[in-house]
Amino acid sequence: MAADGPIRTCIGCRARRSQPDLVRFHLDEHARLRVGRTGPGRGAWLCGDQTARCLASALRANAFARAFGREPDRASLPSHGVDWPSIERQLVAPS
């Protein structure tokens, strides 16, 4: 069965999935964590259907710092308040 688009690895559970099944995070110019498929630079991916569980695993494993090669701004980490409605909108209509 052919994959639907490029294959990426979730930084939380390490599952390999097609891009439409994942949520992409990136760092802005101030090292703040952002959600978006078209943001600049490296991306870190989490499973879209179990984002909260994979997010918790990624935070425990310090996976965002490894994925980006630098530490994200702690105040922007999802455990301190992620914009979940924005993530859910992205899952419904990925850009």
The pLDDT of residue 81 is above 90 = no
Q: Provide the phi-psi class of 17: left if phi over 0, else alpha when psi is between -120 and 50, else beta.
A: beta
Average pLDDT, integer, range 63-90: 71
Cβ contacts of residue 64 below 8 Å, gap of 6+?
11, 25, 33, 44, 58, 72, 77
pLDDT at residue 55, as a whole number: 85
Cα dihedral across residues 74, 62, 54, 29: positive or negative: positive
Q: Is residue 2 part of a domain?
A: no
Each residue's pLDDT tens digit, 20-74: 999 999 999 988 888 888 888 899 999 988 878 888 888 888 999 999 999 888 7
Q: Is residue 24 part of a domain?
A: yes
Q: Is residue 79 part of a domain?
A: yes
Could you tell me the residue range of the domain that residue 84 belongs to?
7-92
Q: Is residue 57 part of a domain?
A: yes
Could you give the CA distance from residue 58 to residue 60 in angstroms, rounded to a whole number?
Answer: 6
The residue with greater pLDDT, 40 or 91, is 40
CATH of the domain at 11: 3.30.1230.10
Q: Is residue 26 part of a domain?
A: yes
Number of domains in the chain: 1
